Amino acid sequence: MPPPPVARRPPYKDFLQPALQRRFASTAGVVLAFSYVESVTLSRWDSLIWSWFPIGLPGLRALAIFACVLPLIVLRIAHSHMGIRTANSPFDILRRMIWQFQPVETILTYALSFWLFSQLYLLCIPEDANLEWITYYSGDRPRLNERALFYTVNLILIGVSQAFIHFVYDYDRLELKAVEPKGEGQATASREPDPWEGWKAQILRMLFRAGTTALAVSMANYVVVYSLLRTSAWGWAMTFFRLFYYNLPKTNIPPSQAPWSIWMLGRSIWAGFMFNILWEISDVTFTYQLQKGPLKNNLPLTTESKDPNGSLINGLKSKKPRIQAFAMLELAYIARDFEDRRKSIFEDIDRKDGPVWSQLFVICLNTIKLIEQRIDDYGKPPAPPTAAQAADAQPSQPPPRAAQPPKDEDVWLPTAPARGFRDSVGKAVGQIARGKTPAEMLGPVAKRGAIQISNRVMTSEQKEVLTPEGFNSAFRSLALQAIRLPVVGLFFQQTFRRRLNAAVLGTPYIEVSVYINAAFALSQLAVSSLTEDKYGNVQRDVPNLIRTFTTVIKKLETFRDELPIHWTDLEGDRSCHETDWLLDDLKAGLGRLIEAFGAYSADLRLSRADMRLAREAAVRRQTQEENGEAVDGGGEQRQPEMRQTN
């Protein structure tokens, strides 16, 4: 009888992808609703009902507006990445991404979307606005209307500007929240913050950014830019419309008078603002929707799986940062809020790869140890490839020849006479007789003369400038003057925060919540095991957990304190929000472990030195708690449940 088929473990992405698709649908619904509002504003209001009724021209216009912004939403999904970009300076980021197709794709997509909206806007405004592409001034001879060309160029320039803003401010980043422990006396954790509350708080910011961008670009285009692009834009437009209007003028020379007017400037600003605010709404809505936790009906996503723990482990082992980050966040939720899932983790011991707790422990601990590994490898040259890798990299060579290959010399030439002792002596005597060459004799004299002239003409300060050290000093002084420039200087400054994040958390992107959630999940599961672990499997790993937390905290603090300020960092600010946040949560997790297992240290084979080092590593966090969170009381108030990385 054949063995029963092995049950397939559903991968974590099978539960994450539907959740993300539902959130995308919610984002699309919000954008479509605001597209309808803009569609109503473009109605001509010649009918009291059909000017706003959705089943009609306003509805079709809303769908067309939504189709204009849809490429930007798709671009946001395609280029989204977990965490913030990391590099020593913004110049390093530009040098890394300049050879990629992503910036070009971003600019082209924005230009296409704004061009589509410009054409839709020109079609929807009344005819008396005189914004048709083709006009007839006298007779039946068509003429190209430069007003429509100006609006199109203006909207495309606004789109290109938005693309640069998108790239500079990294609109593609996605930052997840980090789970925090319950407050004192709190039986259940508070619900996840409503994303719509955060969306409402961004309304004024969205209006300001949309209006500022439209106003600045339109004014620049009206005053300077359009004059530079007018000839080429007119030629492209004439070339295109000659395909449909054969009797257009054959020359590509624009009219002598450009269509300048305050009325036209106001309309162009309004059109740019309409599409800018629609894009801002879609971006903020998409961001808040995707930042929601991996929950469905206030339960973890893997609850619906036939093997919840197996699916969760599959997500934690994923090579894709997004899947791993969501799975780690779900594990942190389980460790804090869901007792039945915690018990299933402790009791699930009959697995091929080992108990569930052991697998989770190894995955989360290796995630935390990545910090220690990067600190140890900082400044070291890259390791040479192993013998196996070198053998794979080298092309396969043919086996060595058993016999020598045939010679190519002419076999009929006479054999060269052998050189003996007489030839060697004759060569040596000839060299002695000839003596040195003129260059060899005059070289030292010229060198001494140059030194004497330099001593008479140049001062000691001038001679110091010509030394290698002087060149380096002069170059550094010039570089510092360039770095002090308002805009260009910031582009090359290697601030302490950037260098520390790149060294500790890695490149090209970092998601701090992954490390924080891993530390929280391990510490919270270990504390909960005192009452929920029936088999006692967790206590065997507690000593290793405490020692690892202690080592990582000590190394991270030492590395942060000893990392020097780069000479391009003019401010010299040693604060780093991401590293401080990570240290704070590592200390909090270690403090929970000490409080829960400190009385059992002897049974856990933790020496007094281990406990002393652990208490020293967690002392800063404990001091803050004893002082009643004085820092938070005097500054920004902490959120009871969640904190964001930005």
Q: What is the pLDDT of residues 122-134, one digit of tens each?
A: 988 887 778 888 8
* Dihedral (Cα; 293, 298, 300, 302), 10-degree rounding: -120
Q: Do the bridges between strand 173-174 and strand 81-82 make them parallel or antiparallel, or are there none, so unpaired?
A: parallel
- Amino acid letter, residue 143: R
Per-residue pLDDT at 140: 72
Q: What is the 3-state secondary structure (H, E, C) of 118-155?
A: HHHHHHHCCHHHCCCCEEECCCCCEEECHHHHHHHHHH
Cα separation, 620 vs 485, whole angstroms = 39
Please check whether residue 145 is in contact with residue 131, taking contact to mean a CB–CB distance below 8 angstroms. yes
Task: Output the pLDDT for position 109.
Answer: 96
Model confidence at 223, pLDDT cuts 50, 70, 90, reads confident
Question: What CA–CA distances, in Å, run from 504 to 8, 369, 507, 557?
Answer: 38, 11, 9, 11
170, 84 in Cβ contact below 8 A? yes
Bridge partners, residue 510, by sequence: 84
- Distance, in Å, from the CA atom of 206 to the CA atom of 287, rounded to the nearest integer, reads 13
Cα–Cα distance, 447 to 441 (Å, whole number): 11
Within 8 A by CB and 6+ apart from 646, the residues are 84, 175
SS3 label, residue 528: helix
Query: Among 218, 220, 90, which residue's Cα sits nearest to residue 154?
Result: 218
Q: Are 628 and 166 in contact (CB under 8 A)?
A: no
Distance CA 82, CA 515 (A): 13
Answer for the pair 90, 490: CB distance below 8 angstroms, yes or no.
yes
Per-residue pLDDT at 113 exceeds 90: yes
Report the distance separating Cα 306 and Cα 70, nearest Å. Answer: 36
Least confident piece of the model among 164-178, 333-347, 408-422: 408-422
pLDDT higher at 145 or 634: 145
Cα–Cα dist 415/573, whole Å: 79
Average pLDDT over residues 632-645: 37
Structure tokens at 14: 């099978």
151: how many CB neighbours lie within 10 A of its CB? 23
Q: Identify the three-state secondary structure at position 175.
A: coil
Query: How does the average pLDDT of the chain come out, rounded?
Result: 81
Cα distance between residue 361 and residue 376, in whole Å: 22
Q: pTM here?
A: 0.80
**Three-class secondary structure of residue 44 per DSSP:** coil
The C-alpha atoms of residue 96 and residue 638 are separated, in whole angstroms, by 36
Q: CA 644, CA 646: separation in Å to the nearest integer?
A: 6
3-class SS of residue 642: strand
For residue 84, list its beta bridge partners.
510
Alpha helices in 406-466 (DSSP H): 421-434, 438-457, 460-465
Q: What is the 3-state secondary structure (H, E, C) of 11-36?
A: CCHHHHHHHHHHHHHHHHHHHHHHHH
Predicted confidence at residue 192, as pLDDT, reads: 63
User: Would you say residue 135 has pLDDT above 50?
Assistant: yes
Does position 85 have pLDDT exceeding 70, yes or no? yes
Strand partners, 136: 142
Please give the structure tokens belonging to residue 625: 């708690």
Q: Is the pLDDT confidence value at 100 over 90?
A: no
pLDDT tops 50 at residue 624: no
User: Residue 289 above 80 pLDDT?
Assistant: yes
The closest of 23, 141, 117 to 65, measured between CA atoms, is: 117
Mean pLDDT, residues 620-638 taken together? 43
Taking residues 27-50, report their average pLDDT. 86
pLDDT digit string (tens) for 28-39?
999 999 999 999
Stretch 287-311: mean pLDDT? 90
Tell me the pairing of strands 134-136 and 173-174. unpaired
Q: Are 135 and 145 in contact (CB under 8 A)?
A: yes
**155 contacts 114 by C-beta, under 8 angstroms:** yes
What share of the chain in percent tops pLDDT 70? Answer: 77
∠ CA 256-262-264, nearest 5°, is: 70
- What's the pLDDT band for 270 if we cut at 50, 70, 90? very high
Q: Taken in order 18, 21, 25, 30, is the CA torsion positive or negative? A: positive
17-26: list long-range contacts, CB under 8 Å, 24+ apart.
Answer: 19/294, 19/296, 19/301, 20/290, 23/289, 23/290, 23/292, 24/73, 24/77, 24/286, 24/289, 26/285, 26/289
Answer yes or no: is pLDDT of 21 > 80: yes
Q: What distance in Å separates the CA atoms of residue 581 and residue 636, rounded to the nearest whole number?
A: 14
pLDDT band at 623 (very low <50, low <70, confident <90, very high): very low
- For residue 636, the model assigns a pLDDT of 37
Distances in Å between the Cα of 133 and the Cα atoms of 9, 126, 222, 346, 486 are: 60, 13, 19, 71, 43
